[in-house]
A and B are shown apart, each in its own frame.
Chain A
């Protein structure tokens, strides 16, 4: 038996943990990138704003800060509670979801989330900035990986587990897409620089933000090109941080909930994910490049949010009942009935 409300909390707990990890990774690698490139304030501002635009956070950032520097960006992405996607907000939201369903998750899962939260609460942007942020981000990642690992190893793989998986894979697919799209929002100063050192550094950062640097090298054994990055991060069937891979796992989780074989579909969310996967399955890398990476990604992210919506509508959505209003209506109805009967 799995309550709708519990399913919802499992899904979001997992999604927020995944989001926290991806954000931590993203900020970490970009901080490092800027150390070796044009670190002047103007270039750095352009760089961070591009990232924020890709993540959909630029407007919020501008309402909170005067200028984008590595320091303000780090604070915004990591410690700012006004940013619902900041690492601390995500961990807090994950913890609130976990707290609501503490009876449903294992002691270990709860303790890890709670420790991560207490750790973040005990840190501050200034202190982390002063001591060098890399250690800090490593620690955040350790917590999230520990959470996912222990969930996998300890939590019973019943239907609730599928909601945890679905949350993580959905979030991961979406974040990979957005990270890939950063290039679109941070264009090279000069088109001729394509393939140059700056271009290369950018794609290395994208790969590292997806923990894909080594996988890339082993797969292609050559220089980094946009085409190959897309090949790996969009379409790879074996790399666990490719969009295709994540969506495929998402599909397995979704079908495990209904029990419907993967060859058919039994509801709207299964239809949507199945169709998207089929399309990606028979798309070649060259087609992606030809259409344009930005356009492809835009379509994918849109489809992912449709899937997320359909999923939550199907299993987790239930209206908040207002008993007072319901009672009033019931009374009114019964009075109307009585009135009607007496007429």
Chain B
């Protein structure tokens, strides 16, 4: 197997220099791949597919019934990150989550950042996931965002940029772990002698973090993962993590709140729960406080949280940080709270709700990427240069009608990575979702989930839109 005929195009290629030579940190891998025949490569690829299907390493596709489970396509060419590069990313992510967490605390307490005129109040009040009812509640250790998935991309110069933050219930970490297991099983000889930093202790770290947010005085907390149920697209991941941690997985209907304490129904009666790793959005978590029609949540859960009788990861109201308008202010937050420049820059962002910027967006829509402020999964956006006239017009009208709900960014030429198409290796665009844990201290899984847009030319890496994933190696040396 080799890369004859591989074309890096006009993009930043993760594996190849502009002159076509292999970047130093990919050399050993390229050499090892060179000794493998195509038949052998295909055979192992097939074996991994079969093992994923059998093990049910799948996600559910909404709207389809049975057979809706799909394997998240897995590309066998690993993405490799050298140590130095990763250290830079890690510093940037730690800085960013620290600022985001201080911001969350601030807006739910004194709102100093508003008073000091750094973030306009109306943006916070109008943020879809802002929870005014939650203001003034004290959370353990002042940590709100315990688990964060911050999506990174690299531009045409190879610089890491932050695309968005996921401070509610980021998913995908199970694929990181499954991908690594599969690579270790099927391609042990690909791994460099000096080693790749392990990701397989993630569940232990997550458990440690969850234990750290138990109500004061509880030595041996009962911890459970709260899932919306087996039809949720990430249910596999919920089970996977619960199993790895040895904690219970519960649905809303398994829980009851009595005297502001949370209990689970067991065959021996009610048993108290101290920490919930919740994979349900705020909207559904407690029908007493949020959507009254939610059957997924637990009536009274927020009361119990207010009373300090249950730890929640993440806390309530962290979705403000996922708002793409708020995102635009993160570099300013970093400066405001930490007195530092952002180590990982944002993608330049125009806010449609700022009159001066609105006109620019309207006039240049064909050249911009326009996104709804609170959509994800590759929905609610257009890439101007790739969009049809009708789509552009549709968005133009939508932006004018509700400017608060839109932002625009110049299209970034995402870096590409050699990816097996079944015929040859070709460059495909990728991003990176590292997972950040914030407990007693901040820990980041080395690497994270590299998502790859498998369709030729596509910039959308989401699993629901033809994306796949790669194992991500952070080198020890």
Interface of A with B (CB < 8 Å)? Answer: 1-5, 7, 92, 96, 99-104, 107, 110-111, 114-115, 118, 121, 159, 257, 315-316, 318, 320-324, 326-327
For the complex with contacts A118-B53, A320-B253, A324-B287, 13 further pairs of A-B residues with Cβ separation under 8 Å are A1-B264, A3-B267, A99-B239, A102-B236, A102-B243, A103-B249, A111-B56, A114-B55, A115-B54, A318-B253, A323-B294, A323-B297, A324-B293
Of all chain A residues, the one with the shortest Cβ separation from B287 is A323
Question: Do A318 and B265 contact each other (CB < 8 Å), given the known contacts A5-B251, A92-B66, A114-B55?
Answer: yes
Q: Tell whether B22 is near chain A: CB-to-CB under 8 Å.
A: no
Bound CA span A109–B59, Å: 20
> Of all chain A residues, which has the CB nearest B250?
A3
- The majority secondary structure among interface residues of chain A is helix
With a cutoff of 8 Å between Cβ atoms, the chain A residues found around residue B259 in the complex are none
Residue of B with least CB distance to A107? B55
Q: Is the CB of A315 within 8 A of B253?
A: no
What distance in Å separates the Cβ of A286 from its nearest Cβ neighbour in chain B? Answer: 41
CA distance A336 to B271 in the complex (A): 32
Residues of A within 8 A of B297 (CB): 323
If the complex has contacts A2-B266, A3-B250, A3-B266, are A323 and B295 also in contact, measured as CB distance less than 8 A?
A: yes
Report whether B264 and A3 are in contact in the complex, using a CB–CB cutoff of 8 Å.
Answer: yes
Tell me the complex Cα distance, A94–B299, Å.
31
B299 — which chain A residues lie within 8 A by C-beta?
A: 321, 323, 326-327
How far does the alpha carbon of A306 sit from the alpha carbon of B162 in the complex, in Å? 61
Q: Which of B222, B248, B266 has the most CB of A within 10 A?
A: B266
- The residue in chain B whose Cβ has the minimal distance to the Cβ of A328 is B292
Selected A-B contacts with CB under 8 Å, 27 pairs = A1-B271, A2-B266, A3-B266, A5-B253, A5-B265, A96-B230, A99-B235, A100-B230, A102-B56, A103-B238, A103-B239, A103-B240, A103-B242, A104-B243, A104-B249, A110-B56, A111-B55, A111-B56, A320-B295, A321-B253, A322-B295, A323-B252, A323-B292, A323-B294, A323-B298, A324-B293, A324-B294
Residues of B within 8 A of A103 (CB): 238-240, 242-243, 248-249
In the assembled complex, B2 has its CB within 8 A of some CB on chain A: no
User: Which B residues are within 8 Å of any A CB, using their own CB?
Assistant: 53-56, 66-67, 222, 230, 235-236, 238-240, 242-243, 248-254, 264-268, 271, 287-288, 292-295, 297-299
Q: How far is the CA of A96 from the CA of B297 in the complex (A)?
A: 22
In the bound complex, how far is the Cα of B391 from the Cα of A144, in angstroms?
53
CA distance A107 to B240 in the complex (A): 10
Cβ-defined contact, A327 with B287, below 8 A = yes
> In the complex, are the beta carbons of A3 and B53 less than 8 A apart?
no
B230 touches A99 (CB 8 A): yes
Question: A107 contacts which chain B residues (CB < 8 A)?
Answer: 55
Complex CA–CA separation, A104 to B236 (angstroms): 13
B residues in contact with A7, CB < 8 Å? 267
When distances are taken between beta carbons in the complex, the residues of chain A under 8 Å from B67 are 121
Could you tell me the distance in whole angstroms from the C-beta of A72 to the nearest C-beta in chain B?
24
Q: Which residue on A lies nearest to B230, using beta carbons? A: A100
**Are B54 and A111 within 8 A (Cβ)?**
yes
Judge whether A4 and B55 touch: CB under 8 Å: no
Instruction: Give the residue name and chain of the A residue nearest to B249 (CB).
Output: A103
Contacts of B293 in A (CB 8 A): 324
Q: Which residue on A lies nearest to B253, using beta carbons? A: A321
| Shortest 7 CB-CB contacts between residues of A and residues of B | A323-B287, A102-B239, A103-B242, A103-B243, A103-B239, A100-B230, A315-B267
